[in-house]
Amino acid sequence: MKNSVLIHGGAGSPSSMSIILEGILNKIEYDDDPLNVAVNSVVSMEDDPAFNAGTGSVPRLDGTIQMDAAVMSDGNFGSVICIENVKNPVLVARDVMLNSPHIILSGDGAVKFARLMGYDYYDPHTEKSRNMIRKFYSESFNGNVPAIFNRKKSGDTVGAVARINNKFAAAVSTGGSFPMLRGRVGDSPLIGAGIYSGPNGAVVATGIGEEIAKKLLSYKIYSKIKTDSLENIVKNEVNSFRTSCGIIAITDDEYIAYSNTDMAYAYKEF
C-alpha cells in the first residue's frame, strides 16, 4: 500500500467534522518519517478549539486544564501526563521520547521539562471551557459527589496513525474526560492502552479512558494483527464495550476507523 495517514477527532465527535480533518491532512507537512506525519496531524488538531486537545481541552472540576499526550514509533515511546500551560502537549511527548532518558513525565515535572525544551507558557482555556465549569456548578447535586460522576462524560481524544515505507507511528492527545478530578489519567498517555505501534502496525484508541485502559485495548488489538483481518479484529474489540469506544489502526495492507458511536476521521495516501 501507499504511504498513508489516518486521524480521528474523538469518539463522539460528529462525523460532519470529518471535513475539518480532511482539511488538516491537506495542509500538514509530509516527509519520510511516520512519526513527524502523525505528530504534525495531532498538532493541527490541538490548535483547533473544536477538538478536546491542546486549545479546546475540557477543564477539571477545579477549573484547571491538565492535558495528556503520547507518541510511539520504531520501538520508542514518550508521553506527558497532566501537563499544564503548554500549547502542544504532543510535541513535548515527542521530546520526552527523543531528548530525555525517560518515557513518561508528569505534572510539574513535565511542565519544567517543556520549559527547558523551549516551550513557552500558554493558557489553553477558552470561553467554551470556562462555560463548561460555570454550567456544571450552576446545577444542584445536593452534595452527592458520586452523582457528579454518574453524569454523561465527554471523553474525546485526537489521534493519528501513519505508515511510511513500511514503518509505523502513532500519536495521541487529549484534554481528558469531563467531569474529572484534578490529576485524573485516562488511557491516552499509557503505552498499550490508548496507543501502541510496532513493526506490524499502529493503533490508537478513543473513548472513556478508564474502560479502555482496563483492557489494554491498543496492545490487545495490535497483538492480534495477522491472526484475522484488521476489520474483524477491531470491530470485535470495540463492539465488546458498553461505553463509548473508537479505534483507528493501520497495517501493511489495511486500515480502519471504527467506533461504537459517531467519530470524525480522515484518511490520506501520499
> Any idea what the CATH number is for the domain that residue 173 is in?
3.60.20.30
Percent of the residues in the chain that have a pLDDT greater than 90, as a whole number: 87
pLDDT tier at 22, thresholds 50, 70, 90 = very high
- The number of domains in the chain is 1
Query: Is 152's pLDDT higher than 80?
Result: no
The cell for 11 is: 469518539
**Mean pLDDT within 208-219:** 97
Q: Which of the residue ranges 53-67, 81-95, 152-166 would you say has the lowest mean pLDDT?
A: 152-166
Q: What pLDDT was estimated at residue 132?
A: 83
Question: Whole-structure pTM over 0.85, yes or no?
Answer: yes
Query: Is 143's pLDDT higher than 90?
Result: no
Q: Is the CB of residue 199 less than 8 Å from the CB of residue 235?
A: no
- 157 carries an active-site annotation: yes
Query: Is 43's pLDDT higher than 70?
Result: yes
The reply to whether omega before 199 is within 30° of 0 (cis) is no
Q: What pLDDT was estimated at residue 39?
A: 98
Q: What pLDDT was estimated at residue 156?
A: 78
Q: What pLDDT was estimated at residue 178?
A: 87
Between the two ends of the chain, the Cα-to-Cα distance in Å is 10
Q: Which residues are annotated as a binding site?
A: 184-187, 206-209
Q: What pLDDT was estimated at residue 79?
A: 98
Residues shown for the chain: 270
Q: What pLDDT was estimated at residue 251?
A: 98
Cβ neighbors of 156 (< 8 A, separation 6 or more) are 9, 10, 11, 12, 13, 51, 52, 53, 58, 174, 175, 206
Q: What is the pLDDT of residues 84-117, one digit of tens each?
A: 999 999 999 999 999 999 999 999 999 999 999 9
How many beta carbons lie within 10 A of that of residue 120, not counting itself?
9
Q: What is the mean pLDDT of the chain?
A: 93
Q: What pLDDT was estimated at residue 78?
A: 98
- Residue 76: half-sphere exposure toward Cβ, Cα within 13 Å: 16
Query: Is 259's pLDDT higher than 70?
Result: yes
* Residue 43 structural domain: 4-269
Nearest in space to 160 (alpha carbons), one of 46, 62, 16, 2? 46
The catalytic residue among 157, 243, 251, 261 is 157
